[in-house]
Amino acid sequence: MNHLPEPGAELPFEGARNFRELGGYLSMDGVDPEIAPFLLRTLRARNGGAEAYLEAAFGLDASRLARLRSLYLE
């Protein structure tokens, strides 16, 4: 059985705090589908996209993003 780390476990402390601040938009199942387009538009407008936001807010570079994708995506 594959055990996944807790959400935010691989993030530095500041990143984990930022992750919790998104709580109004996240649930255990992910982002509410009705809110997803708004979130993506906001990330693009403010940060240039989701990957740029994740790097700026959480310090996740390309290699760390690849690791998280390998853990959470099929």
For the stretch 21-69, pLDDT in tens is 554 555 556 667 788 888 888 888 988 988 998 888 888 899 999 998 8
Look at residue 53 in the predicted model and tell me its pLDDT.
87
- Mean pLDDT over 3-9 rounds to 53
d(CA 42, CA 8): 21
d(CA 36, CA 30): 10
User: Cα angle at 40 between 38 and 41, to 5 degrees?
Assistant: 65
- Longest CA pairwise span in the chain (Å): 40
Look at residue 29 in the predicted model and tell me its pLDDT.
60
d(CA 73, CA 41): 22
